[in-house]
Structure 1
């Protein structure tokens, strides 16, 4: 019997997906300011919890990270069945899109925003509807409401926004929620919630707006990016399909133990937050002194909107020993928290300005 020539073909939508960017020089530079990682290592209690859990690595974790879910439910004053855990908030976003969208539906989101959004929307088979940010690099609430159609099944809101760091006020979030029909899911991505200045609390809002799902993560303020721990909070009726779409044993026992220990160590988290706040001030002040104005940031990063100069600035940063995340033709995102890295970025900015082509 002759074997057929050729290989299996993926869905055409997969081939058309955008590619998640890679930061130039991230593997060779002295400082990595390109991925919004915490610049302070986990505290001893977290490291010890990881080691203890590793001793039992031959055993499966609990089905749904029961210990972490219970701790989060108590912290947030919600019932346990309103909380889901997963391997990073991206895994939970994928579950939400899988459960509530699909072919023939649309997902409205701001743009520029988190670059994974159009990828995950495409994987779900839905159509992304990007809405440009306003002139202040913020979500344009009125334009997002105007983009809703009968095919809209979800609205994605990144607050604070990645990569611009800009925030919506509670009044603006409420205006958006009031403008979205109750049958449309609103996903509030609060990955940078702990760093925010406005302190909009999506968990409190979902008590009034049961069509809301809140996503949060242990990757940023808790410094567990390498362990991949995220969580979602939703009205139990909305959460039920998310539970159904969740893979069993979705969070390793090592990751769960680390997250429980990190959640309990508020002093360490406080040190991380304080470092970020002072570092944002330092970097933005230095950029302003060089003639570059930046939007106020509610994340652990600063957005440098240099437009056509993006590629040159990113290359200069690598040459000065620090990687940053560049979005061609738009700007550069710089993670803060490491003073030497921030100074390297400022030196790169001065280099670019000094060698700017005339005319």
Structure 2
């Protein structure tokens, strides 16, 4: 008697597989088409020599102050413990400094993350979000991440927002409008009266997000005062950060200021420990160390005028800036000038076909820029 087959009887319901030669690795499941189509976030370009002055990311020119270093070093001893849930202590400290109720504040890992959470909580498939352009390159990425469609509105020739055109772009499917003042990367700011008038035109069902990442560097007395507008406009949201004037870019701390109902919605989807223990500790110390913040702000403002004058003297267009950077709308010459800077060890942010953004504050920046533009003819 022959031995029974080790494979057992054939399964009558089994379907034959493809021939061995036709089996191919299908790879992982594909991402949403609108995500794969998104552009990569830009970065500084390398030159023929190492970058020795980093003027590409709008960072503070100095490291954190002694209060922050000491506090973070001490907290590091208990890094095996999770941070405080919801960054409650930091939220209260920010609210106290700004004269708000803690229910009007949400802290997280950067203001960009908070924009993501805000749009995810309020956009639906088919929603549109109106935003300025050229502006922060992450806006279209955040909008599409939230299943919405971006509606870009071109800036005015002076680099500021065309608020009339943005208001006209609002439609029945608009979930939000994003404003950026001072605008990144042009540095142009919006006036208080202009934003107040704009808010009066926007339907109350549409969010108005005012990104104020660079508010600490504003010197224009007519600039928008976002906090004053919050009480009368429940649809207004302010975004701020400790990355710039407080010198904590590497720790990622931002906050959202809005009506308590909006804040509750955002908190529901913010990860439980969005602010790390070290980041919260650093932020609490930085909020107390205002002299260090003032040192950073002063270094930027003191440099802004002379750098603008230097560049203009050599025939380069510069938009008047209220931020910690200057914008050169060079158009087709942007890549060439950015390469010239990189070859001199100066890192800048180049937007091909549009312009070059140069961050301010590094002590050696004016001298390096002077040597870079020295070969260009001066304009009287």
Q: Which deviations, in whole Å up to 9, do the C-alpha atoms of 1:293-327 show, x marking residues without a partner? A: 42211110011111111000000001111000011
SS at match of 2:285: helix
Correspondent of 2:40 among 6, 19, 23:
19
Partner of 2:128: 106
TM-score by length of 1: 0.95
Q: Equivalents in 1 of 2:225, 2:106: separation in Å?
A: 17
Correspondent of 1:5 among 16, 25, 28:
25
Partner of 1:62: 84
Q: Is the 8 A contact 1:131 1:143 kept in 2?
A: yes
Q: Equivalents in 2 of 1:274, 1:160: separation in Å?
A: 17
- Segments of 5+ residues of structure 1 without an aligned counterpart are 355-359
Q: Equivalents in 1 of 2:265, 2:230: separation in Å?
A: 17
Q: Is the 8 A contact 1:316 1:349 kept in 2?
A: no
SS at match of 1:64: helix
Larger Rg: 2
Q: Equivalents in 2 of 1:284, 1:161: separation in Å?
A: 17
Q: Which deviations, in whole Å up to 9, do the C-alpha atoms of 1:2-54 show, x marking residues without a partner? A: 78831211111111112110110289311100000000111110011111111
Q: Equivalents in 2 of 1:41, 1:248: separation in Å?
A: 28
Does residue 298 (structure 1) correspond to residue 318 (structure 2)? The answer is no
Q: Any runs of at least 4 consecutive aligned residues in structure 1 with deviations exceeding 3 A, and if so which? A: 1-5
Q: Is the 8 A contact 1:23 1:326 kept in 2?
A: yes
Aligned residues: 353
Partner of 2:293: 269
Q: Equivalents in 2 of 1:107, 1:144: separation in Å?
A: 10
Q: Is the 8 A contact 1:313 1:348 kept in 2?
A: no
Q: Equivalents in 2 of 1:146, 1:131: separation in Å?
A: 10
Counting only pairs closer than 5 Å after superposition, residues 73-112 of structure 1 correspond to structure 2 as 73-112=95-134
Q: Which deviations, in whole Å up to 9, do the C-alpha atoms of 1:203-234 show, x marking residues without a partner? A: 22111111011100000000000000000111
Q: Which deviations, in whole Å up to 9, do the C-alpha atoms of 1:117-170 show, x marking residues without a partner? A: 011111111000000000111100101001111110000001100000000000
Partner of 1:147: 169
Of 130-139 and 25-34, more deviation after overlay is shown by 25-34
Q: Equivalents in 1 of 2:127, 2:370: separation in Å?
A: 44
SS at match of 1:245: coil
Partner of 2:218: 196
Q: Is the 8 A contact 2:317 2:330 kept in 1?
A: no
SS at match of 1:50: helix
Q: Equivalents in 1 of 2:300, 2:139: separation in Å?
A: 25
Q: Equivalents in 1 of 2:374, 2:139: separation in Å?
A: 34
Q: Equivalents in 1 of 2:319, 2:351: separation in Å?
A: 16
Partner of 1:72: 94
Does residue 187 (structure 1) correspond to residue 212 (structure 2)? The answer is no
Per the TM alignment, residue 340 of structure 1 is displaced from its structure 2 partner at its CA by 1.6
Counting only pairs closer than 5 Å after superposition, residues 324-335 of structure 1 correspond to structure 2 as 324-335=348-359
Q: Equivalents in 2 of 1:289, 1:137: separation in Å?
A: 20
Q: Which deviations, in whole Å up to 9, do the C-alpha atoms of 1:87-131 show, x marking residues without a partner? A: 010110000010011310000010000000011111111000000
Q: Equivalents in 2 of 1:268, 1:286: separation in Å?
A: 28
TM-score by length of 2: 0.90
Q: Which deviations, in whole Å up to 9, do the C-alpha atoms of 1:169-227 show, x marking residues without a partner? A: 00111121111100001111000010012342212211111101110000000000000
Does residue 137 (structure 1) correspond to residue 154 (structure 2)? The answer is no
Q: Equivalents in 2 of 1:349, 1:329: separation in Å?
A: 20
Per the TM alignment, residue 81 of structure 1 is displaced from its structure 2 partner at its CA by 1.5
Partner of 2:143: 121
Q: Equivalents in 1 of 2:267, 2:64: separation in Å?
A: 30
Correspondent of 2:361 among 326, 337, 341:
337
- Segments of 5+ residues of structure 2 without an aligned counterpart are 1-15, 18-22
Per the TM alignment, residue 235 of structure 1 is displaced from its structure 2 partner at its CA by 0.5
Does residue 174 (structure 1) correspond to residue 196 (structure 2)? The answer is yes
Does residue 349 (structure 1) correspond to residue 373 (structure 2)? The answer is yes
Q: Equivalents in 1 of 2:353, 2:329: separation in Å?
A: 9
Q: Is the 8 A contact 2:193 2:224 kept in 1?
A: no
Q: Is the 8 A contact 1:313 1:349 kept in 2?
A: no
